Amino acid sequence: MIALAIGIAFGFCLERAGLGDSRKLSGQFYFTDFTVLKVMFSAIVTAALGAFWLARLGVLDLAGVYVPETYLLPQLAGGLLFGAGFVAAGLCPGTSCVAAASGRGDGLMVVLGMFAGVAVTGLAFAPLRHFYESTARGPLTFPQLLHVPYGVVVFAVVALALATFAAAERWERRA
Amino acid sequence: MSEALTSAPLPRERERVAEGRVRARAYSDPYLAGTALGLVLLASFALAGRGLGASGAFTTLAAKVTNSPDLHQSSWLLLEIAGVVIGGFASALLARRLRFTAVKASRATIAFGGGAVMGLGAVLARGCTSGLALTGGALLSVGSWLFMIAAFIGGYVLAPLLRRAWR
Amino acid sequence: MRRALAIVAATGGVLALLAGSPYPLDVQRLATAVAREDDHVTAVELAAWLRGRKPGLRIIDLRTPAEFNDFHLPRAENVAIDALPSTPFRSDETIVLVSAAGGHAAQGWVFLQALGHRNVYFLRGGVQEWTEALKQPAIGRYFGGARRRDGC
């Protein structure tokens, strides 16, 4: 199926980038290795530009692509927690699978930990439910929020990325 | 080093190891790998009408095991994560980076704990770096960017406390 | 190689500023949809959807808040027509636009189609036709079905 093929390509790219290595990933948070930032932001820019232009040229039906829904508070809180767990584990859900697949023992531990965390959260869901469902905004995008054209936001993302990359390169050279 | 090589080298490799380390291919340039990843994401938009994901596969499995109706389920993501495992394995194999490494107990505990906290965060946020930061980021979703920025903040805030663990 | 990537990205980004909307408007497609009457639903059809609890149904009322508070359809949401383009809709939702007589709703239909939404309809005749239809429920059975027997 397409899901499998895409997953294989996904995992391949992640491993190629070195994101299966927890030590490398954690370097992001100690300002020694900016690979995480470079890979993620490059991917975002590529896909955002690609999606915009393919849609603009009529090749892709952008409205038919599922946009993740916005839940302001849960995603803020979830993000903070996720980041904390990330710097401890040195791997995220996707890269932990890649790490485990490469034979790394700590990758497997992160996979197991994630599974445990998710399972426990599911079992203890009742007290979280109200918070979980709060501040829903639907598939809200920045063009809608700021009332600016889609292309303007795409430009802003590209500009931000290029500026960030320049800064990261300078920082790495200093380290 | 915090990781010890415990697997015995294969007969053919012993000679190479004697000369020096087995030459593994270097990692790809991050911008190039990121661009490739972006193209994979774009292909997913075009072919499947949706982006990537990872935590969703974990919630699907956990939901089946614990019978929680509240966890998000997606068979698409299960198949996709199976692909991620295959792809990661294949890449490591081809780059001669396939190594079965053991883990120190302290590192294992922190990795497990970090994974658990990420699990909670991912359930609350309805996604992780793959589904929100990458996919939602590329689709200009407000909540996804919020999640991504919060995650970086969370990581940078906790990092000083874990410095010793990463030494 | 990095420089090449950066140049491509920068070019793509700058051109995106000037490129217009990524949701192309195919006017012929819209005109055909109107001719085929795929653009609207009647009061009776909408009533059936509501009764059958059609999943993902969203009824958007484009009238003024005063008119909305006076009377509105069940489960309707009040949205001003100039706020319609920035209202987020999911692709699995069925959107039915409602206005007083259907004029604004028909215009809103074009707006949402231009933004790429496909599952959009407007209520033909608006709230006026809705209230009329509710008064005469028997009319619903007359869609080319059995004729009313004379004298009954």
Residue B10 lies in a domain: no
Tell me whether residues C22 and A52 touch, CB distance under 8 A: yes
Which residues does chain C have within 8 Å of residue A162's beta carbon, measured at their own beta carbons?
A: 6, 9-10
CA distance B35 to B53: 17
Instruction: Give the chain A residue nearest C13 (alpha carbons).
Output: A155
Question: CB contact, 8 Å: B156 with chain C?
Answer: no
Secondary structure in 3-state letters for chain A = CHHHHHHHHHHHHHHHCCCCCHHHHHHHHHCCCCHHHHHHHHHHHHHHHHHHHHHHCCCCCHHHCCCCCEEHHHHHHHHHHHHHHHHHHCCCHHHHHHHHHCCEHHHHHHHHHHHHHHHHHHHCCHHHHHHHCCCEEECCEHHHHHCCCHHHHHHHHHHHHHHHHHHHHHHHHHC
Residue B128 lies in a domain: yes
Judge contact between A71 and A129, C-beta under 8 A: no
Judge contact between A168 and B31, C-beta under 8 A: no
CATH number of the domain to which C88 belongs: 3.40.250.10
Q: Which two tokens stand for residue C61?
A: 């009322």
| pLDDT greater at residue A172 or residue A14 | A14
Q: How many domains does chain C have?
A: 1
Average pLDDT over residues A70-83: 95
User: Residue A175's pLDDT is what?
Assistant: 63
The whole domain housing B96 covers 28-166
The residue with tokens 């490398």 is A24
Residue B13 lies in a domain: no
| pLDDT greater at residue C146 or residue B60 | B60
- A neighbours by CB contacts (3+ pairs under 8 Å): B, C
The whole domain housing A162 covers 2-174
pLDDT digits (tens, 9 = 90+) for A90-146: 999 999 999 999 888 889 999 999 999 999 999 999 899 999 999 988 889 999 899
Specify burial of residue A78 (Cβ count, 10 A radius: 0-12, 13-18, 19+).
Answer: buried
Judge contact between B22 and B13, C-beta under 8 A: yes
The whole domain housing C100 covers 24-140
Residues in chain C: 152
SS3 C79: coil
Those residues of chain A whose CB sits closer than 8 Å to some CB in chain C are 42, 45-46, 49, 51-53, 55-56, 58, 61-67, 69, 137-141, 144-145, 147, 149-152, 154-155, 157-159, 161-162, 165
Which residues does chain C have within 8 Å of residue A53's beta carbon, measured at their own beta carbons?
A: 12, 16, 19, 22
Cβ neighbours for C62, distance < 8 A, ≥ 6 positions apart: C79, C80, C81, C84, C97, C98, C99, C104, C105, C108
ipTM score of complex: 0.94
pLDDT digits (tens, 9 = 90+) for A132-169: 999 988 889 999 899 888 999 999 999 999 999 999 98
CA–CA min distance C21, chain B (Å): 14
Tell me whether residues C22 and A139 touch, CB distance under 8 A: no
Question: CB contact, 8 Å: B72 with chain A?
Answer: no
Question: CB contact, 8 Å: B31 with chain C?
Answer: yes
CA–CA min distance C139, chain A (Å): 37
pLDDT tens, chain C, 152 aa long: 888 999 999 999 999 999 888 887 778 889 999 999 999 999 989 988 988 889 999 999 999 999 999 999 988 999 999 999 888 888 788 999 999 999 999 999 999 998 888 899 999 999 999 888 877 655 444 333 333 444 43
CA–CA min distance C125, chain A (Å): 28
pLDDT digits (tens, 9 = 90+) for B77-112: 999 999 999 999 999 998 888 888 888 888 899 999
SS3 C61: strand
Closest partner CB to A117 (pick from B116, B129, B138)? B116
CA–CA min distance C87, chain B (Å): 14
The CA R_g of chain C, rounded to the nearest whole Å, is: 21
Judge contact between A39 and A19, C-beta under 8 A: yes
Q: How many domains does chain B have?
A: 1
Tell me whether residues A137 and B152 touch, CB distance under 8 A: no
Q: How many domains does chain A have?
A: 1
CA–CA min distance C114, chain A (Å): 10
